[in-house]
Amino acid sequence: MTNDTICALATPNGIGAIGVIRVSGSDAKSITSRVFSRDLKETVSHTSHFGTIKSKEGAIVDEVLVTVFDTGKSFTGEESVEIGCHGSPYIQQQIIQLLLASGCRMAQPGEFTQRAFLNGQMDLSQAEAVADLIAAQSRGAHNIAIKQLRGNFSNRLKELREKLIHFASLVELELDFAEEDVEFADRTELKALVADVLAYIKRLAQSFELGNAIKNGVPVAIVGAPNTGKSTLLNQLLEDDRAIVSNIAGTTRDVIEETLNIDGILFRLIDTAGIRDNAEEIEALGIERSREKIKQATVVLCLVDSSDLEGLTAGNSLVTSIRSDYPDKKVLLVLNKLDLKTPEHSDGALAISAKEGTNIDDLKLWMVNSVSGDFDLAEETIVSNARHYDALIRTSEALEKALEGLETGITGDFVAMDIRQAMYELGQITGDISTDDLLGNIFAKFCIGK
């Protein structure tokens, strides 16, 4: 673990009013003082100082605001400096060049956060949450990331580990007295404890499907024969969404793919260009394309024109075939054109009018519920990280072995081994157990400056 001083631009590349350059390491203040018009040596943590950055030749590069942080009081836990300069790529490059020439090293991707982890400012799952938080585009994804950053997930895991430690120590204590054949731990209680922890771990692992969908957006396919109102429905959904976000300046929308933010969950609409171009699809090609979209989607909305009896039958059979081919997909038969004809009640179908906006709220509710299932997004811990999911699966495998061992009356040392294995796997999530490779892998995916 090195403590050399690193620097990098922390704000996005590009032109803005302000840019921030981060400096962290044992010489952060003294290196910055070499390029700054004031000596930072005697400055107090968390104070800002106005001055100029000067080149070696004495030319003024910029007027800046420098904020200092003492060891133990910064994001990284190291002595740190933040240089707030003008938001000019040229100036930022000049200042970084000066810092490099004065003893700094260019930071590796994620190195600031990695140092925060290595210095005990946060555990590994919290460090990973930093990247997730920054990338979060919806309330749902943000909610998961901020909870993880705040230690919600870590604290749950810590509780579980403590339970397992307690369990393991009881079993191991028995081993010490093996010849006396005592049982310190009531087997029934032990089984209940492991089963309890196992159930919780499984629930966490199950939440990954939801967490992953929320983090990456839920792919949605809108399919149906020509003239069933796909394009009208798409516009109706998007318009509602736009109305919510358009009054905030600076809101940018992904132009490549249409997305829909419903109740904090991001839905990614597949192939909206195909829906948008109103050229009639040749029926065969249409079905071909629909199949492709359905394969990619998690949520499938099958639109039929409820005034068209033939179409209704075809739609019904399409839904049935999707459900049998892909039992995991969430499929809804949507009976459109309620404004033209009130359809007969149909199980598992929803009647709407895309044109007049009737029952669109019900449709959205169905979409959200189909994704979130019985998970309580506001209260429950949701796992959104594939690495955590893998570790949870391995944990539950070890716990299952332990439980099996307890049930078949296997000797305590084997049970203890399985429990230790489960703890080891859990420890990888929080980084209590970590290797350089693992850390390298995680932080290399971060941007420079994080």
285 lines the binding site for a second copy (CB under 8 A): no
Q: Which of 81, 149, 371, 442 binds a second copy (CB under 8 A)?
A: 149
Report how far apart, in Å, the C-alpha atoms of 287 and of each of 10, 184, 307 are. 48, 66, 21
The DSSP code for 353 is B
Output b/e per residue, 277-314; b: 16+ Cβ within 10 A. eeeebeeeebeeebeebbeebbbbbbbbbbbbeebbee
Q: Which is nearer to a second copy, 111 or 305 (CB)?
A: 111
Q: Is the alpha carbon torsion for 107, 113, 115, 118 positive or negative?
A: negative
191 lines the binding site for a second copy (CB under 8 A): no
Q: Which of 33, 94, 119, 385 binds a second copy (CB under 8 A)?
A: 94
120 lines the binding site for a second copy (CB under 8 A): no
Let me know if 273 is exposed, middle or buried by CB neighbors in 10 A (0-12, 13-18, 19+): exposed
The DSSP code for 184 is -
Q: Which is nearer to a second copy, 85 or 371 (CB)?
A: 85
> Considering CB under 8 A, how many residues would be counted as binding a second copy?
64
Q: Which of 1, 41, 243, 250 binds a second copy (CB under 8 A)?
A: 250
89 lines the binding site for a second copy (CB under 8 A): yes
Please identify, among the stretches 29-37, 62-70, 289-297, 353-361, the one whose residues bind a second copy according to the rule CB under 8 A.
Answer: 62-70
369 lines the binding site for a second copy (CB under 8 A): no
Q: Which of 1, 17, 256, 284 binds a second copy (CB under 8 A)?
A: 17
Q: Which of 56, 150, 166, 276 binds a second copy (CB under 8 A)?
A: 150
The binding track of 408-447 with respect to a second copy, each residue x by CB under 8 A or -, is ---------------------------------------x
Sole residue written with tokens 């394969």: 295
92 lines the binding site for a second copy (CB under 8 A): yes
Parallel, antiparallel, or unpaired for β 330-336 and 349-351?
parallel
Q: Which is nearer to a second copy, 19 or 211 (CB)?
A: 19
User: Using CA atoms, how far apart are residues 383 and 208, in angstroms rounded to an integer?
Assistant: 5
Q: Which is nearer to a second copy, 215 or 230 (CB)?
A: 215
Q: Which of 87, 151, 286, 357 binds a second copy (CB under 8 A)?
A: 87
Please identify, among the stretches 247-255, 337-345, 385-393, 422-430, the one whose residues bind a second copy according to the rule CB under 8 A.
Answer: 247-255
Q: Which of 2, 4, 39, 47 binds a second copy (CB under 8 A)?
A: 47
- What sections of 109-248 are H helices per DSSP? 111-118, 124-135, 139-149, 152-176, 187-216, 230-245
Contact partners, residue 316, CB within 8 Å, separation at least 6? 304, 333, 346
Neighbours of 422 (CB within 10 A): 28
Angle at 209 between CA 207 and CA 213, to 5 degrees: 115
Q: Which of 67, 235, 307, 370 binds a second copy (CB under 8 A)?
A: 67
User: Using CA atoms, how far apart are residues 252 and 282, in angstroms rounded to an integer?
Assistant: 35
Residues contributing to the site for a second copy (CB under 8 A): 8-20, 22, 46-50, 59-63, 67, 69, 82, 84, 86-94, 96-97, 106, 112, 130, 133-138, 141-143, 146, 149-150, 245, 248-252, 447-450
